[in-house]
Amino acid sequence: MILLFYNLAVVVALVAGAPWWVWRLTTTLKYREGLAERLGRVPPRLRKDARPVIWIHAVSVGEVLTVTRLVGELDRVFSGYRVLISTTTRTGQELARQRFGADRVFYCPLDLPWAVQAYLNALEPRLLILAETEFWPNLLHGCFGRAIPVAVVNARISDRSWPRYRRMRRLWRPILGCLSRVMAQTEIDAERLRAIGCQPQTVTVSGNLKFDVRAAQQAEATRLLRTLAPGLRFVVAGSTLEGEEAELLAAWPRLLHADPHLVMVLAPRHPERFAAVTALFDRSGIAWVRRSDWQPQLPSGPAPSLQPLDPGQVVLLDTIGELASVYSLAAVAFVGGSLAPGWGHNPLEPAQFGVPIVVGPYYPNFRAITEDLRAHQALRIAPKEELATVLIDLLLDPVAAAAMGERALQVFQQQAGATDRCVEAIQELLPPELERAEADQPAVVEKRPA
């Protein structure tokens, strides 16, 4: 009954919002890209391998990064299976194809009955793994109806989402009560998940997969920046949101006065804002360069046409998937999405390199991680009016900055291990013994009545 009301509500919303969706599809590429896949057209590339499927759903860039090591471990442990990865956003799709190969990455179907059923019919997954809290009723109901186990990794209920989940717990309970395993980031998350309907025996605390994330390899941007800026120091500002770029540019003259040998690398969170940020740079009068203007280079070094960076320049990192590696260059890193009320972003990307970290006072989506780093004096909190001062303090005291970065690295290393715990739990749902036995047997085609 709940599913019926949900689907009726979805239909009403689609009909009511049809003019807006038509306008978006007509004017915006990210809404058109992958539309056929989202509506239930299963791409032929997913059908080419006869091995049984493990389906992982990771919404966007953050979730793709989070499950990167998990995908590698599942490939190793369940070698008789094919691990497929779906995303919702265009940027997540692009990064997933870079990380895992385009032949096993696809857009997740919209949570419409026919679209979901098309994928379940085609893929026949033996296991669905959801990253964080992507609870889509039709997808979950379709899996439950086929006895497909569903596991949730890195599960969490943020402070911002908790009141909404709690109000609707009676609606969620019939759905969440059927989940096979739920691996929460923290005990608080585990308590909240049990409270909204997850069966207590299915919920465990496995830790945060983000502590296991490592930069897959040195990005081309990292190599170029190191080559083009010899003797200069980098301030790396990552995952910035609207308004934060202006604050950083306003602080930039003060930082250069304190240390004239600086270059800033600025990476906006959302690619659709690149044009707005470039316009902001043009109005600022600050010398800047766009990373995407650097064409792919030969391994021997940059082409002669690339000019070395000058002190005081700003580099717009307008590429996907390179920020985590670029953090390794930072004398100090600012993690954006945190100067104004919002979600915050992941401070572990610079922590893995022992980089001193600065964030703003708003970080609800990463509260546990940020507070852990803060408790170990491995991170500084700076409201926007103090941002320049805090950055300058760290730039002018490299000994204290290095000690802070080392503490951040220690926290990162001490909290690692969530991936191994998740793989152990998944083995209970889909043992490798089953995988090996099935891999050794010829495929059996079940004949169904017409």
Percent of the chain with pLDDT over 90: 74
Give domain 220-295+306-414's CATH number out of 3.40.50.300, 3.40.190.10, 3.40.50.2000, 3.20.20.150: 3.40.50.2000
Determine the Cα–Cα distance for residues 385 and 383; give it in Å rounded to an integer: 6
pLDDT at 436: 47
Q: If pLDDT is split at 50, 70 and 90, which confidence band does 433 have?
A: very low
Across all residues in the chain, what is the average pLDDT?
Answer: 90
Q: Identify which of 354, 367, 360, 349 has the alpha carbon closest to the alpha carbon of residue 408.
A: 354
Dig out the tokens for 389 from the structure.
């001062």
Count of all residues that appear for the chain in the document: 450
C-alpha span between 139 and 333 (Å, rounded): 39
Give Cα separations from 134 to 60, 88, 108, 166, 176 (angstroms): 11, 10, 11, 16, 11
List strand residue ranges (DSSP E) for 227-356, in order: 233-240, 262-268, 288-290, 314-316, 330-335
3-state secondary structure of 342: coil
Q: What is the pLDDT of residues 242-263, one digit of tens each?
A: 999 999 999 999 999 999 999 9
Strands 82-87 and 105-107: parallel
Alpha carbon dihedral 52, 56, 57, 60, in 10-degree steps, equals -130
Q: Which of 68, 129, 73 shows the shortest CA–CA distance to 100? A: 68
**Tokens, residue 244:** 């934060």
Per the annotation, the verdict on 63 as an active-site residue is: yes
- Among residues 37, 63, 73, 322, which one is catalytic? 63
Q: Is a pLDDT exceeding 50 seen at residue 435?
A: no
pLDDT tens digits along 1-51: 678 778 788 878 877 877 776 777 677 766 678 889 999 999 999 988 889
Distance separating alpha carbons of residues 358 and 378, to the nearest angstrom: 9
For residue 109, what is the DSSP state?
P
348: nearest Cα among 156, 220, 365 = 365
List Cβ neighbours of 351 (8 Å cut-off, separation of 6 or more): 357, 373, 378, 408, 409, 411, 412
Q: What is the pLDDT of residue 130?
A: 98
Q: Where in the chain is the domain with CATH 3.40.50.2000?
A: 220-295+306-414
Query: What's the average model confidence in pLDDT over 307-311?
Result: 94
Residue 449 in this model has a pLDDT that exceeds 70: no
Sequence-distant (6+) residues with CB within 8 A of 242 are 273, 276
Taking the C-alpha atoms of residue 230 and residue 309, their distance in angstroms, rounded to an integer, is 9
| pTM tops 0.75 | yes
Half-sphere exposure of 158 (CA within 13 A, CB side): 16
Range 28-207+417-440: architecture per CATH: 3-Layer(aba) Sandwich (3.40)
Q: What is d(CA 58, CA 321) in angstroms, rounded to the nearest whole number?
A: 15
Q: What confidence tens digit (pLDDT) does each residue in 104-123 have?
A: 999 999 999 999 999 999 99
Report the pLDDT value the prediction gives residue 301, as an integer from 0 to 100. Answer: 53
417 pLDDT tier (thresholds 50, 70, 90): very high
Q: What is the Cα Rg of the chain in Å?
A: 23
| Cα–Cα nearest to 328, from 254, 422, 226 | 226
Residue range 119-129, pLDDT digits in tens: 999 999 999 99
pLDDT at 328 over 70: yes
